[in-house]
Amino acid sequence: MGDAQITGLDTMFQEIKFSRFMDSQAIEQQQKSAGGGGGGGGGGGAADSVLDFLDPVDILGQLKKDFWSGLDNDQWKTRKESLDFLLNLLKAPKLAAGDYADLVRKLRSLFNDSNVVVLGLSIQALTKLGEGLRGEFSRHAHILLPTLIDMWKEKRPQVSKPVTDALDVYGKYCFSVGDEKFCTELDKGFKHKVAKVKVDCLQYLARLIPNQTPEAVTNCAINLGPVLIKMLDDADSTARSTSVQILGSILLIVGEDKLSKIFTQLDPKKLKQIQSVAASGGTESSSDNSNSASVSASVSASASASVRSAEKSSSSATSVASKSEEVGTSRAASSAKPGSPSISAVKKPGPAS
């Protein structure tokens, strides 16, 4: 065998070893994500493992005097140009850690801008900061949370949609539903004088719950359980049906023993609706009214995303170690199934195989 052939084979073997190493890392990261996120919510699965190999981009050093003066310009188009420049920089998937306080403060000041386009772009920029910095942006996300919740009272989609996108990103990467500050601000949102804010807060929590750890959901139940119980009698039909969905999802994740005190004085009919949601895996809509179907679809989509993430992890693991197929199949077969309506019959979901 010639030297060239030997060299070629060595290169091939090195590539195979590197490929296996990458696969194992991706699988490990996916399995951790499938088990639930930490302080920053659900985690990003394989996307996180890709970010680990990317160099962070320093955008702060690229924000020159013209950028800052543009944000203060009297012409809204000039302010928009500065924001467009920033958003182009924020396309980087991973941002370098740094002092973003001045930038966040300036963007937040644009919440009072008279031009709705500028307002919407400022929220989008704060959303991208959360995506690029993730846990590093947690402090700023907590500060922005009450202001963004209050902005849900705005009916214009140029504002309400960016607000929703921002809070969804922060809920995924910057804080969890078990955070005391998060629960405090959401509780205030439930009591907001504008009904739309109350409903948006409930639907927000419904989207977050399925991707959280049992510990975070337990803390959420302790902090927000009583107010959610009261919401079951709310005058707004969507608020009632969404509360049923949230409580059903909580019951599914943490189990009956953690919720017995909360459910003690609950009306049997309402309890049965909550049990039904939990027994169906958090996807069955309550019979309160037709609006519950759309709420159920939102919760179901989040839960399905978690299931798909776990399935991808299992599939990747099988490709690396095919002998584990029988073990994986056995675990899948023994996972919790929908049971009877009684609370004690509802099983908590097991860890992703």
> Of 32, 31, 148, 128, whose CA–CA distance to 88 is shortest?
128
What is the per-residue pLDDT for 257? 85
Tens-digit pLDDT profile for residues 113-129: 999 999 999 999 999 99
Provide the total of helices (H) and of strands (E) in the chain, helices listed first. Answer: 16, 0
Whether pLDDT at 199 is above 80? yes
pLDDT average, residue stretch 134-160 = 97
Rounded mean pLDDT of 204-217?
96
- 268-327 pLDDT, tens digit per residue, is 999 999 999 999 987 655 444 434 444 444 444 444 444 344 344 444 444 434 444 443
pTM comes to 0.71
CA dihedral 254, 347, 302, 242 (to 10 degrees): -70
- Measured CA to CA in angstroms, residue 68 lies from 78, 105, 116, 322 at distances of 11, 12, 19, 56
What local confidence, expressed as pLDDT, does residue 258 receive?
84
Provide, rounded to the nearest whole percent, the portion of the chain with pLDDT above 70: 66
Tell me the pLDDT band of 42, cut-offs 50, 70 and 90: low
Cα separations (Å) of 342 from 69, 226, 269, 276?
63, 21, 12, 9
DSSP code for 203: H
- Kindly provide the b/e burial profile for residues 158-168, where b requires at least 16 CB atoms within 10 angstroms of the residue's own CB: ebbebbbbbbb
